[in-house]
């Protein structure tokens, strides 16, 4: 966990050259494994479709919305995140050991994986390209406020930024603060305000006006 001051450096979320090289290498590896009969492309496509289109941010958003509306569930989420997420039926790849990080006034959490790209697929779907990039993985630790600013998140100077490093043993889910003006909203409606980035910590939950 780290808390660092702001520094100004350039940062691109696209990392086009890295993506192009990585895509080419992945495709070449897939071709070799397919020719050797070690993988089934159709099965791979089904896995990708599941986590990209069917899971996406939906599972994580449901968890956040439940925590916002059910104090008892929020306490269970704090005490045993993995079990609380499993209550909603969300289990699976890279989601076996989870910890929820609750944002609050004065504290903002942000998640990175500095060694590779450990990421809770079962609640957030496939990781975005920028999450896996060397630039994000290094700068999120060294200069989190600068990185947040490039995502459009500017926090008060007194807000402490805590950066958490995911590992193969433990992954994190940020619970963003509930937006104002949502009193009386049902969990299903609240879930529409929860973005993927807000659950990584590189964004905030949408305001009611922004969501509409």
| Catalytic entry in 12, 17, 86, 116 | 116
| Catalytic entry in 12, 17, 117, 212 | 117
| Catalytic entry in 12, 17, 86, 118 | 118
DSSP, res 163: E
């990185």: which residue's tokens?
A: 147
Annotation marks residue 17 as catalytic: no
Annotation marks residue 212 as catalytic: no
Annotation: binding site: 113, 116-118
Annotation marks residue 133 as catalytic: no
Annotation marks residue 12 as catalytic: no
The residue count for the chain: 212
Annotation: binding site for Fe(3+): 113, 116-118
What's the CA gap between 21 and 146, in Å, rounded?
26
**Which pairs count as long-range contacts for 50-55, CB under 8 Å and 24+ apart, including other chains?**
51/93, 51/121, 51/125, 51/126, 52/125, 52/126, 55/121, 55/122, 55/123, 55/124, 55/125
CA of residue 17 relative to chain centroid, distance:
23
| Catalytic entry in 17, 113, 138, 166 | 113
By three-state DSSP, how is residue 109 classified? strand
What's the CA gap between 175 and 172, in Å, rounded?
10
- What is the token pair recorded at 81? 């995140």
Environment class of residue 128 by beta-carbon count within 10 Å: exposed (0-12), middle (13-18) or buried (19+)? middle
Q: Which residues belong to the active site? A: 113, 116-118
């Amino acid at each position: 966990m780290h808390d660092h001051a702001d520094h100004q450096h350039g940062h691109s979320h696209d990392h086009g050259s890295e993506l192009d090289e990585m895509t080419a290498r992945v495709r070449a590896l897939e071709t070799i494994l397919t020719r050797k009969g070690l993988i089934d492309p159709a099965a791979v496509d089904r896995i990708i479709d599941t986590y990209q289109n069917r899971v996406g941010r939906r599972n994580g958003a449901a968890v956040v919305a439940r925590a916002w509306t059910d104090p008892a569930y929020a306490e269970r989420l704090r005490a045993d995140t993995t079990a609380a997420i499993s209550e909603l039926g969300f289990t699976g790849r890279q989601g076996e050991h989870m910890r929820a990080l609750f944002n609050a006034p004065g504290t903002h959490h942000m998640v990175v994986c500095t060694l590779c790209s450990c990421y809770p697929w079962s609640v957030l779907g496939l990781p975005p390209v920028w999450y896996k990039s060397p630039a994000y993985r290094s700068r999120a630790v060294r200069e989190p406020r600068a990185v947040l600013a490039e995502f459009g998140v500017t926090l008060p100077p007194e807000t402490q930024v805590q950066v958490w490093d995911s590992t193969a043993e433990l992954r994190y889910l940020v619970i963003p603060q509930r937006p104002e003006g949502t009193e009386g909203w049902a969990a299903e409606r609240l879930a529409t305000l929860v973005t993927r980035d807000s659950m990584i910590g590189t964004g905030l939950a949408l305001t009611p006006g922004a969501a509409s």
